[in-house]
Amino acid sequence: GDSVTQMEGPVTLSEEAFLTINCTYTATGYPSLFWYVQYPGEGLQLLLKATKADDKGSNKGFEATYRKETTSFHLEKGSVQVSDSAVYFCALSYSNYQLIWGAGTKLIIKP
């Protein structure tokens, strides 16, 4: 069945470091791909999305490119801040209501 695999956390970086959080997926069709972020004590919120191959989603300095050939949607940011500390979830969805979630990756940024 369809699934999403994320790199295990926690990922610990220093402020201004480059960030990559890996996400790969298994899908029988052509889903839309999402990154959601969960800050401490809050619900999830959409960070960015891409709906077809080669699309790049971007928001708040974060980027991810929908790569069909490698079935990946890695999250990147050029210079992280302490305020980026959160749990990041990769997810996929087809043309229905189901979001298939990755396990989440906790990111810790140290000043």
Placement of tokens 């989440």 in the chain: 104
Angle CA 62–67–72, to nearest 5: 75
Please select the residue that binds another protein; options are 26, 45, 59, 81, rule is CB under 8 A: 45
Using CA atoms, how far apart are residues 96 and 2, in angstroms rounded to an integer?
14
Residue type, 101: W
| Residues 63-102 contacting another protein, CB under 8 A | 89, 93-99, 101
Placement of tokens 């979830």 in the chain: 89
Please select the residue that binds another protein; options are 51, 59, 79, 81, rule is CB under 8 A: 51
Q: What number of chain residues touch another protein (CB under 8 A)?
A: 21
Residues of the shown chain interacting with another protein in the complex, contacts defined by CB under 8 A: 31-32, 41-46, 49, 51, 89, 93-99, 101, 103-104
